[in-house]
Amino acid sequence: MTTIYYIEDDLAIAHSVKDYLELRGFCVNVYTTIADAEYAVKEAKPHMILLDWNMPDGQGDRFCRRIRSGSMEIPIIFLTVRGEPRDIVAGFSDGADDYVVKPFELAVLHSRILALLRRVNPVKETRLCCGDIVLDKEKVAVYLGREEVALSQPEYQLLLMLMENRGRTLMRGRILEQVWDANGNYVNDNTLTVTMKRLREKLHHPACIKTVRSFGYRMEE
């Protein structure tokens, strides 16, 4: 599991970010002082650091410089109200990999975290997310929020195919071939329609699954 250290003294913001990311498969540890964060990094290196600039016992930019001076290649994202161009330039000069100005959308932050992790550690994702839907490929399990959803094998394979091709329209013929034909189960086109209907019902009709009339389906945030 990907571990993120979030250095933030505003607990309302910290818990909001923590809850959102943990629903999407991350482990988030919150530290309200620079001193606690430095001790934690020495004890166990995280996969990523989210860093506020103004902290009660110091400045986030100095902490960032100390991490970099120690040759630690930990991805760092500033999350701060300091949005002046000179602050953003300074943040990157201090060694940050990305810079997000408060207030920010949690979905946007999540996307930027995933993008940064792909760049620094290009491994195959085992948990796929879209909205409140989480698909865990290792467990072969699907969750809606914190609740596991029981899916049939075709429903799971259909959802997996959509999530692995998020943003792309999948033609009905291609879905039939991959979900059924490849397994020796040759079915008619109506089977896909019925399977999609049941999948949507079990996921409480998510807005992220789109019907592309006369073509197929697409999943998008």
The residue ranges of every structural domain in the chain are: 3-120, 127-219
| Percent above pLDDT 90 for the chain | 67
Kindly tell me if the per-residue pLDDT of 122 is higher than 60.
no
Report pLDDT for 70.
Answer: 75
DSSP annotation string for the chain:
--EEEEE-S-HHHHHHHHHHHHHTT-EEEEESSHHHHHHHHHHS--SEEEE-SEETTEEHHHHHHHHHHTT----EEEEES--SHHHHHHHHHTT-SEEEESS--HHHHHHHHHHHHHHHS----SEEEETTEEEETTTTEEEETTEEE---HHHHHHHHHHHHTTTSPEEHHHHHHHHTGGGT----HHHHHHHHHHHHHHTT--TTEEEETTTEEEE--
Look up the CATH number of domain 127-219: 1.10.10.10
Q: Which CATH number, 3.30.2130.10, 3.40.50.2300, 3.40.50.720, 3.10.620.30, labels domain 3-120? A: 3.40.50.2300
Question: pLDDT tens digits, residue range 137-177?
Answer: 888 999 998 899 999 999 999 999 999 888 889 999 999 98
Q: What is the pLDDT of residues 109-120, one digit of tens each?
A: 999 999 998 887
